[in-house]
């Protein structure tokens, strides 16, 4: 019976309220976002398409502005494009506004205790706690008289100190720490009053982020990003105990990348890449204390150097030594073999700028480390007309002849007498001091083409060669005694670094000990290169050391006339099988002993002991 009455009542209520329910549904549909969007988008799309066509139909499509007629659709299209551009800028390109730290919900209560009130120990709930001077310093949750839960802490001057989670009277959980000015200092996780977990540190303005990332025990620890006072990113990567440690990327203060790779206790150390102040990669390899690991370069190969340094070195050489200067990195590398630069010239280039370059046959004998070969081209063949070395001497004028590097000639032709007009200055074609060179006899070929005699052209001497003569420089290495090999054919894993000279800023001094001793060796080519680099900033550096540099070519510089007077004060230190040699001007009076490192050296070198 009861179920029957309930069913009848339900049907009566449905019959009475049904009309009203339909009305509510209709009202809801009128304000439903999806329905409104579905109704508005089609006509709006149609309007936009009509605007895009920009095809006037009648005079009514224009409106006048003074003497001018403006097409309505074009005007509306420009407004539409402008609005779209503003929307895209703020959604994709505009700098993001740093969100303000979230504020914990304020807790209000009329229950108040003094901090030393015995009754507080038995209270659990929300309370105000007063300091000794009567100032309310805490408002929030209390459990058995201890601040646990959410609350707000202020100092006795009423300034906000902390808002967030508490546990046993300590900051714990999520919260915000404040500067005395009231600006946020830190927002994130806490544990036992210390920063813990993910958080953000702010400068005193409360807006500039100094660090965003992971914390442990109040220190930066884990992955994060460090910023400067201006908001510029300084480092991103791994931290340990508040120091850069692990893998990361460091930036200069202007935001340009400075180093990427491994860090140890705050400094770049391990494998990584160093960059110049312009953001160009300088070196990739072993790094120590924020600099190139210079000692690791001793014993490396030429192939290792080319893989490590990205800049093209300037090569300094003489008859006995050769070094590679990496200018931006400030490193001078001495290799264990001699090098020679041969300068091949095309004599016809003086008259014909399009004349090609040719190599001298391998049978030519040379007298110096630098050879200047002069060739003439005629018809379809090539013939060598003579050569002079860098001092302008003839091919037979030296006292000790060394074989020229084996370089193939493009085309071999029978020997042809050299006209006197084409011989180098100070020599003759038929005798005297100039050597007439015979090219190798070619292999038989069917129907050889006769070689017409070339038209002689005067060939200037090396000293008088005009600048516009085409030249081609070829670098050779002495792979064995008087056996030379061109750089293109060289096995660069067989050329080793014997010494590394460092002339960069902030040269580190190794820990001194009783092993420090005074060196007494004369200046070598690497000293000249280091001193020349120092003289760019201090013209009088090592003023008593003299030498000459042939700087006609920026990449290959011949060093000569080195003064062998003992005018460089050197101190050596042996460590781990290497000799660290510190160099000072001779008149500095610098003394190194076990108690002091003395003044910073001008440059230093590392070599095997």
Listing DSSP states for 403-439 in one string gives: EPP----SS-----PPPGGGSPTT--SSSTTPPPPPP
**Where does the pLDDT of residue 584 fall: very low under 50, low under 70, confident under 90, or very high at 90 and above?**
confident
Give per-residue pLDDT as tens, 149-206.
Answer: 999 999 999 999 999 999 999 999 999 999 999 999 999 999 999 999 999 999 999 9
Between 333 and 43, whose confidence is greater?
A: 333
As a whole number, mean pLDDT of residues 331-357 equals 72
Q: What is the pLDDT of residue 40?
A: 66
Asked if the model's pLDDT at residue 455 lies above 90, the reply is no
**Where does the pLDDT of residue 438 fall: very low under 50, low under 70, confident under 90, or very high at 90 and above?**
very low
As a whole number, mean pLDDT of residues 601-605 equals 88
Between 217 and 509, whose confidence is greater?
A: 217
Pairing of strands 68-71, 62-65: antiparallel
Give per-residue pLDDT as tens, 51-63.
Answer: 556 566 677 777 7
Q: What is the pLDDT of residue 544?
A: 84
Between 79 and 430, whose confidence is greater?
A: 79
Query: Among residues of the chain, what percentage have pLDDT more than 90?
Result: 40
As a whole number, mean pLDDT of residues 66-92 equals 76
Q: Is the dihedral of CA 369, 370, 374, 377 positive or negative?
A: positive
List, in sequence order, the alpha helices (H) in 495-587: 525-534
Query: 604 with 507: CB under 8 angstroms?
Result: yes
- The pair of structure tokens assigned to 21 is 């329910």
Asked if the model's pLDDT at residue 606 lies above 90, the reply is yes
As a whole number, mean pLDDT of residues 270-275 equals 96
Torsion angle of the four alpha carbons 437, 440, 444, 449, in this order, in degrees rounded to the nearest 10: -30
For 103, which DSSP code? P
**Where does the pLDDT of residue 609 fall: very low under 50, low under 70, confident under 90, or very high at 90 and above?**
confident
Q: What is the pLDDT of residue 59?
A: 74
Query: Among residues of the chain, what percentage have pLDDT more than 70?
Result: 63
Q: What is the pLDDT of residue 552?
A: 80
The dihedral region occupied by 47, where left means phi > 0, alpha psi between -120 and 50, and beta the remainder, is alpha
Q: What is the pLDDT of residue 95?
A: 58
Q: What is the pLDDT of residue 386?
A: 35
**Where does the pLDDT of residue 358 fall: very low under 50, low under 70, confident under 90, or very high at 90 and above?**
very low
Burial 499-535 (b: 16+ CB within 10 A, else e): bbbbbeeebebbebeeebeeeeeebbbbbbbbbbbbe
Query: 244 with 263: CB under 8 angstroms?
Result: yes
**Where does the pLDDT of residue 506 fall: very low under 50, low under 70, confident under 90, or very high at 90 and above?**
low
Residue 535 CA to residue 527 CA, distance in Å, equals 12
DSSP of 126-157: EEEEE-TTS-EEEEEEEETTEEEEEEEEE-TT
Query: 607 with 595: CB under 8 angstroms?
Result: no
Collect all residues with Cβ–Cβ distance below 8 Å to 399 and sequence separation of at least 6: 367
As a whole number, mean pLDDT of residues 409-414 equals 36
Residue 306 CA to residue 290 CA, distance in Å, equals 21
Average pLDDT over the chain, rounded to an integer = 75
Residue among 303, 357, 389, 342 at smallest CA distance from 484: 342
Coil, helix or strand at residue 562: coil
Residue among 252, 250, 229, 255 at smallest CA distance from 239: 250
Asked if the model's pLDDT at residue 317 lies above 50, the reply is yes
Collect all residues with Cβ–Cβ distance below 8 Å to 397 and sequence separation of at least 6: 367, 433
As a whole number, mean pLDDT of residues 30-38 equals 60
Q: What is the pLDDT of residue 8?
A: 73
Query: 573 with 333: CB under 8 angstroms?
Result: no
**Where does the pLDDT of residue 64 fall: very low under 50, low under 70, confident under 90, or very high at 90 and above?**
confident
Query: 218 with 194: CB under 8 angstroms?
Result: yes
What residues form DSSP beta bridges with 502?
A: 331, 604
**Where does the pLDDT of residue 440 fall: very low under 50, low under 70, confident under 90, or very high at 90 and above?**
very low
Coil, helix or strand at residue 125: strand
Q: Is 44 exposed, middle or buried (0-12, 13-18, 19+ CB in 10 A)?
A: exposed
Give per-residue pLDDT as tens, 86-145.
Answer: 877 776 666 555 454 444 444 567 899 998 999 999 999 999 999 999 999 999 999 999
Residue 597 CA to residue 507 CA, distance in Å, equals 12
């Amino acid at each position: 019976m009861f179920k029957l009455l309930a069913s009848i009542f339900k049907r009566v209520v449905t019959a009475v309220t049904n009309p009203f329910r339909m009305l509510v549904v209709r009202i809801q549909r009128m304000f439903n976002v999806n329905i409104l969007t579905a109704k508005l988008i089609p006509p709006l799309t149609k309007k936009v398409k009509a605007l895009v066509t920009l095809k006037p139909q009648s005079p009514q499509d224009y409106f006048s502005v003074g003497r001018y007629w403006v097409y309505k659709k074009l005007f509306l299209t420009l407004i539409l494009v402008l609005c779209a551009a503003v929307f895209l800028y703020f959604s994709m390109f505009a700098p993001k506004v740093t969100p303000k730290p979230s504020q914990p919900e304020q807790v209000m209560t009329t229950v108040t205790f003094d901090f030393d009130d015995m009754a507080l120990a038995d209270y659990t709930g929300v309370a105000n706690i007063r300091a000794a001077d009567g100032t309310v310093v805490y408002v929030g949750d209390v459990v058995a008289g201890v601040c646990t839960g959410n609350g707000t802490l202020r100092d006795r001057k009423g300034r906000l100190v902390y808002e967030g989670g508490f546990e046993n009277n300590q900051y714990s959980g999520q919260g915000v720490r404040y500067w005395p000015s009231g600006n946020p200092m830190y927002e994130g996780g806490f544990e036992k009053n210390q920063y813990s977990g993910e958080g953000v540190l702010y400068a005193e303005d409360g807006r500039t982020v100094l660090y965003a990332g992971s914390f442990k025990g109040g220190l930066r620890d884990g992955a994060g990003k460090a910023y400067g006072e201006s908001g510029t990113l300084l480092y991103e990567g791994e931290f340990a105990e508040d120091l850069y440690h692990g893998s990361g990327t460091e930036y200069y203060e202007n935001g340009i990348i400075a180093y990427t790779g491994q860090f140890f206790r705050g400094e770049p150390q391990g494998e990584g890449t160093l960059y110049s102040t312009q953001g160009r990669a300088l070196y990739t390899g072993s790094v120590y204390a924020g600099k190139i690991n210079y000692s690791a370069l001793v014993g490396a190969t030429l192939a290792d150097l080319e893989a490590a340094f990205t800049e093209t070195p300037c090569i300094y050489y003489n008859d006995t030594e050769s070094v590679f200067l990496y200018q931006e990195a400030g490193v001078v590398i001495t290799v264990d073999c001699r090098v020679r630069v041969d300068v091949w010239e095309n004599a016809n280039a003086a008259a014909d700028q399009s004349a090609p370059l040719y190599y001298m046959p391998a049978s030519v004998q040379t007298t110096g480390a630098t050879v200047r070969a002069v060739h003439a081209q005629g018809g379809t063949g090539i013939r060598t007309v003579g050569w002079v070395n860098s001092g302008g001497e003839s091919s037979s004028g030296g006292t000790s002849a060394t074989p020229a590097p084996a370089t193939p000639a493009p085309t071999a032709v029978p020997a042809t007498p050299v006209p006197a007009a084409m011989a180098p200055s100070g020599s003759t074609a038929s005798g005297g001091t100039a050597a007439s060179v015979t090219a190798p006899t070619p292999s038989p070929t069917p129907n050889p083409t006769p070689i017409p005699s070339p038209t002689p052209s005067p060939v200037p001497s090396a000293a008088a060669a005009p600048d516009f003569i085409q030249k081609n420089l070829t670098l050779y290495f002495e792979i064995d005694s008087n056996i030379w090999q061109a750089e293109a054919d060289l096995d660069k894993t067989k050329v080793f670094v014997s010494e590394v000279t460092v002339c960069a800023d902030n040269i580190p001094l190794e820990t001194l000990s009783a092993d420090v001793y005074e060196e007494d060796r004369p200046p070598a080519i690497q000293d000249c290169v280091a001193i020349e680099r120092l003289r760019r900033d201090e013209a009088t550096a090592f003023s008593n050391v003299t030498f000459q540099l042939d700087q006609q070519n920026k990449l290959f510089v011949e060093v000569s006339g080195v003064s062998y007077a003992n005018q460089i004060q050197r101190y050596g230190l042996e460590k781990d099988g290497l000799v660290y040699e510190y160099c000072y001007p001779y008149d500095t009076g610098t003394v190194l002993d076990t108690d002091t490192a003395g003044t910073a050296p001008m440059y230093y070198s590392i070599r095997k002991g």
